Chain A
Amino acid sequence: MRAGDEELVAAAQQGNQQAFEELVERHKQKAYHIAFDFCRDREDAKDLSQEAFLKAFVNLKKFDGRSSFYTWFYRILVNLCLDYKRRLKRSPADSFDETLENQMEPSHEPNRPRSPDQQVLAGQISRKVDAALQALPAKQRTAFLLKNHQGLSIKEIAELMQTAEGTVKVHLHRAVTALRHSLAEFV
C-alpha cells in the first residue's frame, strides 16, 4: 500500500532519506511547473524548485503537521518564486526581456510544426502575455497562476497565500480583468 505524505514526512523526520526522496518524487513535477509559471525559464524553475525541496529538507523537523505537507511545501516554493521575482526586478542585468528570449527557444515549446505566420503570431502572443503577467501585482499574479495554471482551488490558494478565501477571489478577479484588457487584441 502506498504511504501517505504524512507517513513519509514522519519517517523523513526520523532521518530516513529514502522517505524524503519519495516525497520529492511525488511533488517534483508540480513544484517545477509552478516555478516555471513564475519565472518562465527552465533552469531557473529547476533551481527554484530544488531550493524549495532543500529548504523543506532542512526545516522538516520544524514541520508540525498543522497543515498538510503539500500546503507547507508549496508555501515555501511560492515564497521563493516571489523572492525570485523581486530579485529579478532589482537586477536589470537579468531583465525580463532576457527571460522572454529564453522562452522563445524551441526547446520550451511543444514539438509541433508551425507555419512562419503562426510562429510570428505565437511569438507576439507570448510576448504580450508575459508582459501582461509581469505587470500584475505579486499577489494577483500568484493567485492567478495558482488558479489558472495549476488548477488549485480557492481554498488551497488561500492556505498557500495565508490569506482569506475572499481576498483570493478579489485578487483573481482583478488579475483576470487586467489580463483581459491587456490581451484584448487577441479576442
Chain B
Amino acid sequence: MAGHGQLLSPCKNLEEDLVLFHYGELPAPEHFSLEQHLSGCANCTAYLKDLSALMPLTIKADDPPETFWLDYNRELRHKIDSTRDKSWWPVNFGAFFQPRLLTAFGAIAVIAVALTLTLGKGVWQDRDLPREDEALMEVLPMAEDFDFFKTMDVLDNLDVLEFMASPEGAA
C-alpha cells in the first residue's frame, strides 16, 4: 500500500455504476458500455482500483474453533428449552383472552343467563308467596301465641267495667 492518500475523482455520473461494476451487479448492457468507457478513462479506472484495494480491508475474518460451535449448539438448545418451559403457561392462559374467543365466551354467557331466567322462572315463582299470604304468615305466629288472646280478653273486661261504672251503665 503506497499510502499517498491522493484520490482521483471518477466521472460523477458513473460513480454508482462503478460501485455496482465492482460488485458484479451491473446489468449486461451497462456493463458493456462501462467497460468501453474504462478503456479510455484513467480516473474511473483508478477508482475501481481503489475499491479493489480498500474494500477487502474492511472485512474482518473470524473463524472460531470447533469447541466454540459445540458450546454454541449446547447454549442455544438450553435457551430454547428454557424459553419453551417459561412460555407454555402464558401462551395457554393468554389463549382465553384472544379477541375471537372472548366474543364466543361473551355470547355463551349471555345465552346461559337468558336460559336460566327463562327456564328458572316457574321454579322461583312457586317459592314466592302472594302478598296476602305473606301477611297471614306474619300474623300466624302471633295468633298461635295464647297470651295475646288473654291480653285481648283483659282489654274486653276493662271495657265492660268502664261501661258499668258510667251513668249509662248504672241506669
Contacts and interface: CB of A to CB of B under 8 A. Distances in A.
Interface of A: 17, 20-21, 24, 28, 32-33, 36-37, 40, 42, 45-46, 50, 53-54, 57-58, 103, 108-110, 125-126, 129, 132-133, 144, 147-149, 153-154, 169-170, 172-173, 176-177, 179-181, 183-187
A109 B59 contact: no
Contact of B80 (A37, A54, A172, A186): A54
Query: Interface on chain A toward B: helix, strand, loop, or mixed SS?
Result: helix
B60 A50 contact: no
Given A183-B58, A187-B4, 5 more contacts: A28-B69, A36-B62, A42-B68, A46-B68, A180-B50
A125 B23 CA distance: 22
Contacts of A180: 7, 50-51, 54
Contact of A58 (B3, B25, B87): B87
Contact of B72 (A28, A58, A183, A184): A28
Contacts of B62: 33, 36, 42, 45, 108
Nearest to B3: A185
B75 A50 contact: yes
A103 B60 contact: yes
Nearest to A150: B59
B79 A148 contact: no
Interface string B40-64: 0000000000110111011111111
